[in-house]
Structures are given as structure tokens and as C-alpha cells.
Amino acid sequence: MTNIERARFTLEIVLRDHQGFERPISMAIGLDQELRISSRAVSELKSGFGLYSMDDAVTLMHTREMRKDLFIQTAERLGTLLAERMEDAEGWHDTSRIDPARKQLGGEWS
């Protein structure tokens, strides 16, 4: 079982050329429950009701920002990986990397 199969959250970017070529590339997000904030907690925090101390409120807001940063970092890593695969498929790097990159990306390479 791969990390993508085990992870609850996976970020996926799809490369599409609108001429029939479409290839998704995905990466598992390393955190699971830590990324979730219940809608009840958000509602209670926003309304001022509930049993949330100032420390609890700060923790929720830090979690929200940490999650946003994690998603942005993962998207940047995915974009970099996709760019490297395309460079490999185009022949910019070692010739042994061309065929595996082309197979992974699919489509026609001429």
C-alpha cells in the first residue's frame, strides 16, 4: 500500500492540453486528523459561545494557517515534480530518464 492509498488527504494536479491529453499527478498530505477543524468548533468560536479559552482559539487559528501553508507547499512540490517530469520527457537531462518520464506522463512525444 502506498502513502497515497493510506493518506486521508491527497492533493492532485491535472495536466490537461484540451486536445485529449490529461494526466493527473498527486501527492499524499502527511497529516490526517490534524488538518481537520470541526465546523462546530468554528461556529462556536465565531459566535463566542462554547468552552473555548483564548489558548484554544489561538490553537484553532494556528491549525488553520498551518494547513494552508501545508497545502501551498504540497502544491509547489507537485508543480516542481511535474515540471521535472516534463523536462525529463523532453530530454533535458540524462537519457535514462526520458522513457520513464514519457511513460508516466503518457501522450505522444515526438
Would you write out the chain's pLDDT as a tens digit for each of its 110 residues?
A: 444 456 677 888 888 877 787 888 888 876 666 667 777 778 877 887 667 788 888 888 888 888 888 889 889 999 998 899 889 999 999 999 999 999 888 777 77
* Model confidence, pTM: 0.67
pLDDT at 3: 46
Run of H or E residues at 28: strand 22-28
Which pLDDT belongs to residue 106? Answer: 79
Q: Half-sphere exposure of residue 99, counting CA atoms within 13 Å on the CB side?
A: 1
Please report the pLDDT score of residue 31 as a whole number.
Answer: 66
R_g over Cα of the chain = 20
- Tell me the domain boundaries of the chain: 3-105
